[in-house]
């Protein structure tokens, strides 16, 4: 399983206000390629709308994982985009979602190369 390594601040060290503020992480593997390249930077909104098709950070087995959320037959799943990781698809409960990805950028990229994500309904809308 490809997890977000321990680059996250534990929840108990954040104030109530800060815990709902967007934060950034670096993607450390290729499990979400081709949409998210290894080493790109993702911005996560902890208060964002988690809908079918959204890219999310979720808690699994005492760790964090970055995947796309899917809804199938009334059940929620986390799935990688890279076909080499498709065997890692797993069912989750919505309360495991810690936030949704709202932006990505290359590690040393230009502002014009950033990509934003908005989720407004049953399917993700990409900008």
Confidence band (pLDDT; 50, 70, 90) for 40? Answer: very high
pLDDT band at 1 (very low <50, low <70, confident <90, very high): very low
Once rounded to an integer, what is the mean pLDDT over residues 71-98?
A: 95
Task: Grade residue 5 by pLDDT with cuts at 50, 70 and 90.
Answer: very low
What is the pLDDT, as a whole number, of residue 119?
85
DSSP output for 113-125: G-EEEEE-SSSEE
Distance from C-alpha of 57 to C-alpha of 59, rounded to nearest angstrom: 7
| Domain 11-126: CATH superfamily, name plus number | Umud Fragment, subunit A (2.10.109.10)
Residue 90 in this model has a pLDDT that exceeds 60 = yes
Interval 109-124: pLDDT, tens: 777 778 999 988 655 4
Confidence bin at 57 (pLDDT 50/70/90): very high
Closest CA to 26 of 79, 78, 104, 89: 104
Rounded Cα gap, residues 68 and 70, in angstroms: 6
Q: For residue 13, what are its two tokens?
A: 């060290």
DSSP codes of every residue in 50-82: --TT-EEEEEETTEEEEEEEEEETTEEEEE-SS
Radius of gyration of the chain (CA): 14
Q: Say what the pLDDT of residue 18 is.
A: 61
What DSSP character marks residue 33? T
Length of the chain: 127
pLDDT confidence tier of residue 6, bands split at 50, 70 and 90: very low
């Amino acid at each position: 399983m490809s997890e977000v390594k321990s680059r996250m601040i534990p929840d108990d060290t954040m104030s109530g206000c800060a815990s709902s503020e967007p934060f950034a992480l670096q993607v450390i593997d290729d499990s979400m390629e081709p949409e998210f390249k290894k080493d790109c930077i993702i911005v996560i909104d902890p208060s964002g709308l988690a809908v079918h098709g959204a890219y999310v950070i979720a808690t699994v087995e005492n760790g964090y994982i970055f995947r796309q959320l899917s809804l199938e037959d009334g059940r929620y799943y986390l799935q990688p985009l890279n076909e080499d990781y498709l065997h890692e698809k797993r069912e989750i409960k919505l309360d495991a979602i810690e936030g949704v990805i709202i932006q990505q950028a290359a590690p040393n990229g230009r502002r014009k190369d950033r990509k934003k994500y908005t989720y407004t309904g049953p399917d993700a809308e990409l900008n």
